[in-house]
């Protein structure tokens, strides 16, 4: 599997916030991240997903979000083909579960429509 090429546009959702998007395509594969928590390596390769969205969902280029959070990637990957086919929007909500360094977030996913 080839690496998802940069530039990366990481999806960042704050605690209690949500993002709603219409998925028009996706690409899965390894991607490079640069963790910022204390003691983190300078660079790390993780499994990721690039989610292409409509111009209405994101007001500026590029029209995609890169998802690197392991729990969210695992939950989204099996849903993505159906989201593209159905054209139904998906709502992703973040919850901070551990405020330490490194912090830990979990996500809920709701298919709308």
Task: Name the pTM for this structure.
Answer: 0.88
Contact 80, 64 (CB under 8 A): no
User: 104 Cβ partners below 8 Å, 6+ apart?
Assistant: 96, 97, 98
> pLDDT digits over 18-66, tens only?
999 999 999 999 999 888 778 888 888 999 999 999 999 999 999 999 9
Q: Which residues of 77-105 are buried (b: 16+ CB within 10 A; e: fewer)?
A: eeebeebbeeeebbebbbeeeeeeeeeeb
Q: Is the dihedral of CA 43, 61, 67, 73 positive or negative?
A: negative
């Amino acid at each position: 599997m080839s690496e998802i090429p940069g530039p990366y546009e990481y999806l960042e959702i704050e605690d209690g916030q949500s993002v709603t998007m219409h998925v028009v395509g996706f690409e899965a594969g390894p991607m490079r991240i640069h963790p910022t928590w204390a003691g983190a390596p300078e660079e790390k390769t993780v499994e990721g997903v690039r989610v292409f969205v409509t111009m209405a969902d994101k007001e500026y280029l590029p029209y995609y979000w890169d998802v690197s959070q392991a729990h969210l990637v695992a939950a989204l990957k099996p849903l993505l083909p159906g989201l593209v086919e159905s054209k139904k929007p998906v709502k992703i909500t973040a919850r901070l579960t551990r405020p330490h360094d490194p912090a830990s977030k979990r996500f809920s996913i709701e298919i709308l429509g």
